[in-house]
Structure 1
Amino acid sequence: MSAIEIPHLRIKSFALRPRLFSGEQEGALGGPDLPIPRPGDRLAADVATTQFRNDAEGRLMIAALFEASNSSAIMRIVQPNRGGRSPGYAAVVDGNDQGGMTLALRGLQPGGTLTRGNFFSIVHGGQRYVHMIACPGQMLVPDTGRVALPIWPMLRFLTVDAEPAEFVAPMIEGKLLGFDKGASFVRAKTETLSFSIQERA
């Protein structure tokens, strides 16, 4: 079953946060603590809306949330403080079986910039996985259109060559939470809504 897209209608806040499954090994007898990164770290988005009128916009939003409640939700990640020039629409994974915290990509726009803190999504097996660019400062895309990009968190799958990487309009996909009480109607209006989308893997 394909994921249900949640529209950006009357969104008051859209906050990405980490869901960490990494740990920390406490030092024995006062020794140093050691971080233990694990490949399950991923992201979630917490979303809140303003009040809807009882109109087409409100019905569209509520219908999407009802449909996604027993399926998967997908929503565009809006980055109003996004920095740098877009690296383009045609970026793809460059090579099979990549893992870890560096991703080889090709097909980027030469002269584009990859800026630390910007998010992008990889479409793997038909599902979106969100990652953040973790290079220091900005990385300029060379004439070849190929880069080895530091990312966060580490990859949660082994890559497949030529799978899309979405830098222009990244999406978060996963389980919808927080809509179990449905929508509340007051006179000709719908009360504000709040929900989360959590990546599953």
Structure 2
Amino acid sequence: MSVLIPWTRIADLTIRPRLFSGNQEGVLGGADLQIPRMGDRFVVDVSTSQLRQDAESRQLVAALMEATTADARISLRLPNTPTLIRGNGVVDGAGQTGSLLRVSGMIPNAALHWGVFFSIVHAGVHYVHMIRSQVLVDASGRAAVPIWPMLRFITIDDEPCHFEDPMIEGQLVGFDKGAGFERNRTKPLAFSIQERK
């Protein structure tokens, strides 16, 4: 079970790809060959401002300590996300694979914007994906959403999709030095969460 990391004095959150795809160089001047592989995923790098000696800061440090032997989960509160209400939907059909996800239960006629991140909860774990082009939800609340990276699992019908409050979860990295305390403050912290699957 992942530990929820609270948004206490978070100063910066950067999302970046963790790639397992690659390129094979052409022989003797031939064309390079793209090699897409299932397994590309995301990492977030997080840093805080200086923490106060208060209950919220202690809870953040405690959650990070606990996540060193479990996994960590944090909301992807990214700037410049469109404010149009998109609603949360569910996976529309079992057995989906690839780079197109069918969803249902969305707000009819809503717009899903290119570049917006969302998460799918599969077997209790959040998997982050990005919308590859603008999509309009139809009048019945269904949409076919082009995604990147491709799905890393075979879908189960009605799995929750978090468009409003996506989360990333996985291995906590970079907190091995712990938290440093000075007088009545805690030094700024920096850590990363990388998807395992």
Give TM-score, length-normalised by structure 2.
0.98
* TM superposition outliers: structure 1 runs of 4+ over 3 Å: none
Letter in 2 for 1:100: G
1:160 matches 2:156: yes
* Superposed counterparts of 1:60-99, under 5 Å: 60-83=59-82, 85-89=84-88, 91-99=89-97
Q: Which letter maps to 2:109?
A: G
Q: Which residue matches 1:187? A: 183
Deviation at 1:86, TM superposition (A): 2.3
Separation in structure 2 between the aligned mates of residue 86 and residue 170 of structure 1, nearest angstrom? 14
From 153, 156, 170, give the equivalent of 1:174.
170
Cα distance, 1:62 vs structure 2: 0.3
State the match for 2:41 in structure 1. Answer: 42
After superposition, the CA RMSD in angstroms is: 0.9
* Structure 1 unaligned blocks of 5 or more: none
Q: Compute the displacement of 1:129 (Å).
A: 0.2
TM-score, length-scaled by structure 1: 0.96
SS of residue paired to 2:121:
strand
Q: Which residue of 2 aligns with 1:9?
A: 8
Please report how far the alpha carbon of residue 109 of structure 1 lies from its aligned counterpart in structure 2 after TM superposition. Answer: 0.5
| Percent pairwise identity | 54
> 1:118 maps to what in 2?
116
Q: How many residues align?
A: 197
- Note the alpha carbon deviations across 1:49-80, whole angstroms, 9 max, x for none: 00011111210110000010110000000022
The residue type equivalent to 1:130 in the other structure is V
Q: What is the distance in 2 between the residues matched to 1:111 and 1:27?
A: 46
